[in-house]
């Protein structure tokens, strides 16, 4: 796959570039990367480029029958969906899609890759976010997304108005905020540091992580007004990270747990992001399930 195609592919799922601080936080930073020798890299051939999917006959402009929104998005329904449930900003979706420029050039397709794409509704270009929130499961649409709702002239990304055919396969709902998200209840345990926690499900065994352990967990985080800001559940896979590379409330809290345990934490700002710009503010609430202690 050539460089321009990779750029187009990455652009679909990177609508907004997010600068990450080098400071530790709760999100996983590690990746399981297998070292590969120079000889292995030379010997491996790139996969052949997939055959393109022909552009629809109306790729150049939306037809008069298209529905238009106030933002400038236009779309037609090709296959109706089922039910009345629409994705929300905090949900993740599974879709099949193909994208063309208005001159009929295909620049990306999950169909040619042979697998649906899964991503957060709010983690894509604005036109996609708006379009997905209008769809129901099983619905297939053709959408004309103006440049102002796409890549806005970003270097290396597809330019101008873009045309996508999108089929919404599934919606992975974000967990709802707990009723006691605003403050820890009276029965919650409190440590000397001010960390509060409540066991939601008992685990097994007696082994607990230490401050240098690497763990596998599922988690969801909310601010105290009930706004969910991150969840491994909506990404569809557990997070793996070392406890000495996360916020202090996580380092302390996970050491209270055994494998299989699920616990809710109320982490004061002094043990979380301490007012760091761009990070969730104030006391944070996390539901955490300790799946495995890796080392």
Question: Active-site residue numbers?
Answer: 219, 229-230, 247, 273, 286
* DSSP secondary structure of the chain: --HHHHHHHHHHT-SS-----SS--SS----------HHHHHHPPPPPPPPPPPPPTTTTS--TTSEE-TTS-EEEEEE---SS----TT-EEEEEEEEEETTS-EEEEHHHHTS-EEEEGGGS-HHHHHHHTT--TT-EEEEEE-GGGTTTT-TTSPPSSEEEEEEEEEEEPPPPPPTTTTS--TTSEE-TTS-EEEEEE---SS----TT-EEEEEEEEEETTS-EEEEHHHHTS-EEEEGGGS-HHHHHHHTT--TT-EEEEEE-GGGTTTT-TTSPPSSEEEEEEEEEE--
Q: How far apart are CA 249 and CA 268, in angstroms?
A: 8
Token pair belonging to 255: 């050491």
Work out whether strand 284-293 and strand 262-267 pair parallel, antiparallel, or are unpaired: antiparallel
């Amino acid at each position: 796959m050539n460089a321009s195609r990779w750029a187009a592919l990455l652009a679909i799922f990177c609508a907004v570039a997010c600068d990450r601080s080098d400071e530790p936080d709760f999100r996983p930073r590690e990746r399981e990367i297998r070292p590969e020798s120079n000889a292995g890299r030379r010997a491996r051939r790139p996969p052949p480029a997939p055959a393109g999917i022909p552009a629809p006959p109306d790729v150049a402009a939306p037809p008069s029958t298209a529905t238009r929104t106030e933002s400038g998005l236009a779309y037609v329904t090709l296959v109706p969906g089922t039910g009345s449930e629409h994705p929300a900003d905090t949900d993740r979706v599974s879709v099949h899609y193909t994208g063309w420029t208005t001159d009929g050039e295909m620049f990306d397709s999950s169909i040619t890759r042979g697998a649906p794409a899964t991503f957060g509704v709010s983690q894509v270009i604005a036109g996609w976010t708006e379009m997905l929130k209008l769809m129901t499961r099983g619905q297939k649409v053709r959408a004309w997304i103006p440049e102002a709702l796409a890549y806005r002239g970003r270097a290396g990304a597809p330019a101008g108005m873009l045309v996508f055919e999108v089929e919404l396969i599934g919606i992975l709902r974000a967990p709802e905020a707990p009723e006691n998200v605003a403050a820890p209840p009276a029965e919650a345990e409190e440590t000397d540091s001010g960390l509060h926690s409540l066991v939601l499900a008992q685990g097994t065994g007696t082994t607990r992580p230490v401050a240098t352990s690497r763990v596998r967990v599922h988690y969801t985080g909310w601010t105290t007004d009930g706004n969910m800001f991150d969840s491994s559940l909506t990404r569809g896979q557990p997070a793996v990270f070392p406890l000495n590379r996360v916020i202090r409330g996580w380092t302390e809290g996970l050491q209270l747990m055994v494998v299989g345990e699920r616990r809710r934490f109320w982490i004061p700002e002094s043990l979380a992001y301490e007012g760091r710009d761009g990070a969730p503010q104030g006391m944070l609430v996390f539901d955490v399930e300790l799946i495995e202690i890796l080392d």
